[in-house]
Structure 1
């Protein structure tokens, strides 16, 4: 078997459904398996997987084991030569796995491979490629200065070696994952991807960013929404420095003080509120369906060139490939106040997000 896709899920039933549809399309011509590890979701996630995706291997945990342990569970039963760690709030292009499999076969000492991520508004997510967050760089980042945190020397459509990749999408040989002992389970949530990327570099592997294929990550880079999140995030950073950069007591005090001060003086991100005057769909049937369900006029268009500013565009994967949806989102993101939603065929919901600062949104009918 060529590939095992491992998806860790927790209470994002609708995003998981969309994600699984896109992964099925992307693995249609590949000898692959899909493994969903559910961390005791309270929603209908597990029933949905059993009913709509009976071929998916489902692990149902009785408690929330966290990101590291949950993903390690999935990889432990994987059979693929390669594994892909994938977030459930993502939509992958049909060519992403094929391209990365072909790319990986050409590289020696291959570590972890990532791809281009965009948020729900079509904007590039800079956390797709990052530098090692040495103390100075990390403290700059958590004070709001990201210039040295992201790998800005690599262009977003480029293919190049990078140091740190994002946990929403991490592709690698299963033997490499096991050699690195997977995600460090001292981390419950956040920081695990930095740790695994850094362990790969220390072990002599080369990590790569492949910007020639793209996918959607609705949540984008996690934001400081509440006290519990902030404590976990900065706690994860303290674990990382203790494991990899600890030198002496003065150094430890400096790191502890800097991280805790950054937590106290953190800034909450502004939520994006876009003005939408029109809603567009690409078929009469979808436009009529949405008009009835949303109680608003939905216009039919044949070309993205017909779309104006301050509009919501509803994509339909049954009539447009995921790769084309991603490309259209990137192209249209240059317009003012453009929002995107995806409506699955025979579904009772639409999904979208207006920025990486906002959690993805679901409207059910």
Structure 2
């Protein structure tokens, strides 16, 4: 019996090369790769490259057994999302590259619809699909470039306590329906179809971003160079968000906000970046004190201790990029 990837041609020089970075998500990766074998998708795919960031699960065994034609780059340590992607990007040759998270599932015609959008708009460097959660509910994937207010709110206690604040709503483009094709500032990196010509002009990911904000930085560089970013809602992709990045949540909180500070320093200057860094530290210090008070009162002590450890990790890091 042919392996599941037998439906994929992997003929060099075809339309799209696929890049996936994986870390300890063998089951999710199996499902993601299976969606690439659908006839409508497989007909477009040249090679599939999986970079494994030193997984300790059965990822490498599964790939060798079930997807032997996938090109696998096994790293001896977790090099981070950007470095791993760049490893694979250096091996691509197709005119378009699909960057895909391992916790995504492409619907049948999603890849073709994104490709059609790039073909029809030669000024567009990146196309992102409509993302949905596993239950089919919408997952916001369009973004405006972050303002100073949004830098202080996104994925911090400010937004957790006030999820519908005006800055967050505008940032996630809640004022524009998500069922129409449109140009946007940037799209989230769970699934991005990228034009090689644009990448060759602008360059690959900035490896100072270990993970988080790397696609924001990339789209900012594309638009600063005269390219555009598009959103194609007819292309639908399921994103089981959190499944591939929920490990080590305290470290994730540090990396997310450190990358945020780095982005603002890079694109808006050190004064703005340092202002954001210090303000974020103030936010997390206040939240640590609040959690400590609740812990002392005996309220859900295990939860409070977990949050104190996470916020303490942020404070100890100083949110300084190393």
TM-superposed CA distance for 1:24, in Å, is 1.8
The aligned length equals 264
Which of the two has greater helix per residue?
Answer: 2
Distance 2:47 2:149 in 1: 41
Q: Is the contact made by 1:137 and 1:148 (CA closer than 8 Å) also made in structure 2?
A: no
Gaps of 5+ in 2: 1-13, 160-164, 289-322
Q: Is the contact made by 1:125 and 1:220 (CA closer than 8 Å) also made in structure 2?
A: no
Residue 44 of structure 1 corresponds to 58
1:14 is the counterpart of 2:27:
yes
Structure 1 residues 66, 225: closer, same or farther in 2, change over 3 A? closer
SS at structure 2 position matched to 1:24: coil
Distance 2:23 2:204 in 1: 20
1:193 is the counterpart of 2:208:
no
TM-superposed CA distance for 1:194, in Å, is 1.0
Distance 1:120 1:264 in 2: 34
Distance 2:81 2:287 in 1: 24
Residue 324 of structure 1 corresponds to none
Residue 264 of structure 2 corresponds to 241
1:174 is the counterpart of 2:222:
no
Distance 2:138 2:119 in 1: 27
Gaps of 5+ in 1: 268-365
Distance 1:181 1:78 in 2: 14
1:79 is the counterpart of 2:100:
no
Distance 1:134 1:224 in 2: 29
SS at structure 2 position matched to 1:256: helix
1:227 is the counterpart of 2:250:
yes
Superposed CA RMSD in Å reads 2.0
Structure 1 residues 64, 220: closer, same or farther in 2, change over 3 A? closer
SS at structure 1 position matched to 2:187: coil
1:272-316 CA distance string (max 9 Å, x none): xxxxxxxxxxxxxxxxxxxxxxxxxxxxxxxxxxxxxxxxxxxxx
1:34 is the counterpart of 2:34:
no
Residue 233 of structure 2 corresponds to 211
1:120 is the counterpart of 2:134:
yes
TM-superposed CA distance for 1:255, in Å, is 1.5
Q: Is the contact made by 1:130 and 1:151 (CA closer than 8 Å) also made in structure 2?
A: yes
SS at structure 2 position matched to 1:27: helix
1:105 is the counterpart of 2:119:
yes
Q: Which moved more, 1:221-230 or 1:200-209?
A: 221-230
